[in-house]
Amino acid sequence: MHIGILGPVEAHSPDGKIAVGGPRPRTLLAMLALRVGEIVLLDRLIDELYGSEPPSDAANALQGQVSRLRRALGDASLIEFHPAGYRLALAPDHVDAQRFASLAAEGQRALEHGDSQGAESLLSEALQLWRGPALADIDAADHATRLEQQRSAATSALIAARIRLGKADVQEIADLVQQHPLDERLRGYLMQALNQHGRQAEALQAFEDARALLADELGTDPSPELRAIHLQILRGQNHRELPAQLTSFVGRQDELRRLESMTSRLITLTGPGGAGKTRLALQSAGPDAIFVDLAPVKDVSAATLQALGLKETVLAPEDRLTLALRERDTLLILDNCEHVIVQAAQLAQHLLSTCPSLRILATSREALGITGEMLCPVPPLKPEQSVALFVDRARLVNPAFVQDQHTVDICRELDGLPLAIELAAARTRTLTTEEISARLGDRFRLLIKGNRAAAPRHQTLRAVVEWSWDLLDSDERDLAASIATFSGGATLEAVEQVCRHDLEVLEALVDKSLVDATDGRYRMLATIREFCSQHKRVDAEHARYFLDLARRADPELRGRDQVRWFARLTAEHANCLQAVEWATDHDPQLALQLVAELSWYWYVKGSRTEVQGLAQKLHTQLPEQSTEEYAILLALAAPERVQNVLQGLSGPIKQPFVLIAWAMLSGPPDPGAPRTELQDEVERSDDPWIQGLIGFSNSYTGFVENGDRATAIACARKALEQFQDLGERWGAAQVMDVLANLTDDPREALALTDDALRAMGELGAKEELAELRGRRADRLLDIDVDEAERDYLRALEMATQAGLAATRALANAGLAKIAQRRGDLAKAEQLLGEAQLELGFGWMHNAAKRQVEAALEELRSSTS
């Protein structure tokens, strides 16, 4: 059932229109409909039906009218009786007046929040419910007047929305002015509508007509609001309001503060597509800013004239703009300048030089490049801001959405790029975050459902990047695709040697926000990189470049400049792994060379676990070989098989990591074992680093074999000098650790350990740092138990991160000793049990196992 009172009173059932009856049944229905869902008091209904002369049996008469209305409606339950009165039992939106009031209120709220398009849609729908004058066929003047006032307010709001949208109907407003000649608000709307249609003279005349009428009829002057509209028209000011934002603004507080502090009259927000430059510009601008969207245009001056509501004249567009802006203290937002960058720069230069109070805020994927411009880069969102944005947008489509770890992973994978995050969040309506995360490898197919009302370039992730790609010339596209091959960014040297383009082309990509230049490296966001790499790859050139770099770096890693070279290879870690991975599939022999040249870096950095899977894959691609390179590969991929290859090597040694692999996998040499050719070759070597390594080894093994502490110390000190002369921190730290074991002075042992930790810390050697931290704790046991406990716990944490089971076992054994000393024998036993579970294959594990078993024996002895 639907009731209509915005016109003649009507009732409609699913079968059609209902004959309600005469004036009194219609009046009764209207009064109940005006308060649908509420109990209308008996006295009020009698007054509405009978006025000042009700019948003597008014209550019975009202009951009779209710009965007639129930029969007419065909459903007695629609009009409920209550002791105090009657109630129309319908949902409010089944009465046109109630539906109108709801839509009108919602439309006016949209208008207040700047959503002119939404306001127009809602208010139009509300006013279409009217079929004529309210309550047209009954006597209910007060109610009709109130409804007509609501209609008038909604009409005014609709006109305001259409004026903001630049599509007001002049004739419609003029007709309303004729009906309400003293309504200054309507007069103002008429002036604005005429001005928007280029009828400035008529708009000014409308003001004069209003002034004369107000003086004659009321003896007053026009209101300040009407005079302000008049002044705007005189100055040619008729710009559109800033686009309304339909979602909350998340993050970017640092950028907002920076914009607020910048004093230049020209500020350009730069950044890749989808970074949120436009949204940031709108958020920072005041309500009187002039917004010019340049994305769909080819003529910047014409678009700016249109944004100001100005028509072109015989004057040049730039001069027309100067006349309109010369005396105004305002902000002009030039949005999406990148595809008309030259025009935008020229217009900005002209207006800033001719309009002294004008400020310009531009958004572009590259700088305008004119004097006085101040750049404000718009970087990806910070991790916490990215997650907050994802959660906010996800709850718009899925109110029950709850953040989880996959949410964090998605935001990280999408580089904190706001548009990509919003597109991903929109998929939470149908996909879980785990499913979204798993599909981001094909992000351009996944993130295809955006805001249908947005510009086409912002509706899908691919469209965002294609907009930038299409603005590049052929050299820029070739270089962008080549740089996309680098998974870890690239130095200028790498770009020039691998991609073979001039610096000027690289700088153009940086200027256009396709490439980020920071700390001497050139990087792409993962989204841009994925798109560009679909057009071209230079993997073979990339792999050969990093093989050459590794060859240059390897000897430097054992010399005075090793810290700088370790830092350089660390910066290229992702690229080096990428080169090995590609070569493993396409050129296994090249991959083997890469593994050999990178082996020492990986060992010191503690990356053996990380590269093990890749080494095992390469091992399956290669035939058996009796080479250093193959021995190194086996040390990483199949350590149990490396001994046979090592024993077959005769030297000279080209890769010192072979010696480390030998010691690491074989343990201290057996004095009774026959000598090998490799041992003889190593001892004849004149390489100072190898000589230092031999001295380090001899000091350790000599003391173990014969207990000659003085000779061992002398040998170790000589090795330390050799490493220090080279400036080699790893070797020096190893010898310091040996000397700490050999000294009888606990304080000296601690000082040597601290020196060793500092040296390893400069290299970032994760495994050695964990081991040294544990040994420092051992040496503190009889000096400071509390500090020893802290060091054991740090060693345990570091060993966990580095994947060192033996070191974890020794740390737990040390903590067990402390627990035993404190009398907590149960905890000590638990910790030693955990230590036993850590131990596995290899001489280092065996050595650790002996220490753990000794600690267990001591614990059992103390409890027996």
pLDDT in tens, 201-239: 888 888 888 889 888 888 888 888 788 778 777 665 555
Residues 326 and 287 grouped into a single domain: yes
| DSSP per-residue codes, 645-699 | HHHH--S--S-THHHHHHHHHH-SPPTTSPP-HHHHHHHH---HHHHHHHHHHHH
Q: What does DSSP say about strands 2-4 and 16-18: parallel, antiparallel, or unpaired?
A: unpaired
- Considering the domain architecture, whether residues 347 and 423 belong to the same structural domain is answered as no
CA–CA dist 572, 484 (Å, integer)? 15
Q: Are residues 27 and 158 in the same domain?
A: yes
Co-location of 353 and 496 in the same domain: no
Whether 183 is covered by a domain: the verdict is: no
Say if residues 583 and 591 touch (Cβ distance below 8 Å).
yes
Give the separation between CA 206 and CA 199, rounded to whole angstroms: 11
CB 43 within 8 A of CB 83: no
| 356 and 406 both lie in a single domain | no
**308 assigned to some structural domain:** yes
Same domain assignment for residues 30 and 126: yes
In a shared domain, residues 501 and 520: yes
Q: Using only C-alpha atoms, what is the Rg of the chain?
A: 41
366 and 389 inside one domain: no
- Tokens representing 817? 């000793």
CB 320 within 8 A of CB 312: yes
How far is 362 from 281, CA to CA, in rounded Å? Answer: 8
Q: Does any domain span residue 855?
A: yes
> What is the C-alpha separation between 194 and 397, in angstroms, rounded?
41
Place of tokens 């294959």: 841
Cα 392 to Cα 399, 413, 419, 428, 645: the distances in Å are 9, 18, 13, 12, 60
Cα angle 141-52-67, degrees, rounded to a multiple of 5: 80
Whether residues 618 and 527 fall in one domain: no
Strands (E), 498-540: 516-518, 521-523
Q: What is the pLDDT of residue 670?
A: 59
Q: Is position 626 within any domain?
A: yes
The CA distances from residue 238 to 168, 195, 291, in Å, are 13, 8, 12
Order of strands, sheet of 331-335, starting from the edge strand that comes earlier in the sequence: 290-293, 331-335, 359-364, 266-270, 373-377
- Domain-ending residue, one of 329, 353, 377: 377
> What CATH number is associated with residue 488?
1.10.10.10
Residue 202 lies in a domain: no
Token pair for residue 374? 């101040």
Residue 452: predicted pLDDT: 42
- Strand-strand pairing, 290-293 and 79-82: unpaired
Q: Identify whether residues 21 and 157 lie together within a single domain.
A: yes
Tokens standing for 458? Answer: 């912002």
Do residues 767 and 849 share a domain? yes
Residue 458 is predicted with a pLDDT of 46
Whether 734 maps to a domain, the answer reads yes
Q: How many angstroms separate the CA atoms of 132 and 136, rounded?
A: 7
Complete edge-to-edge strand list for the sheet that includes strand 10-13 = 2-4, 10-13, 16-18
Query: DSSP class of residue 95?
Result: B
What CATH code is carried by the domain that includes residue 292? 3.40.50.300
**How far apart are the C-alpha atoms of 606 and 382, rounded to whole Å?**
29
Q: Which of 331, 355, 377 is the last residue of a domain?
A: 377
Distance from C-alpha of 731 to C-alpha of 6, rounded to nearest angstrom: 94
The domain of 566 spans 540-682
In this structure, the strands spanning 85-88 and 266-270 are: unpaired
Instruction: Point out the residues of the chain with pLDDT beneath 50.
Output: 450-458
Closest CA to 465 of 534, 415, 381, 531: 531
* Rounded alpha-carbon distances, angstroms, from residue 442 to 89, 212, 362, 499: 55, 69, 33, 25
Structural domain includes residue 701 = no
Q: Domain containing 807 — which CATH number?
A: 1.25.40.10
Chain centroid to Cα 162, Å, comes to 36
What is the pairing mode between strands 2-4 and 10-13? Answer: antiparallel
Asked if residue 838 and residue 754 are part of one domain, the reply reads: yes
**Looking at the domain assignment, is residue 314 inside a domain?**
yes
Domain boundary among 537, 563, 580: 537
Neighbours of 470 (CB within 10 A): 10
- Number of separate domains in the chain: 6
Calculate the alpha carbon distances from 823 to 816, 817, 858 in Å: 10, 10, 13
Q: What is the DSSP string of 444-488?
A: HHHS----TTS-GGGTSHHHHHHHHHTTS-HHHHHHHHHHTT-TT
How many of the other CB atoms lie within 10 Å of CB of 829? 17
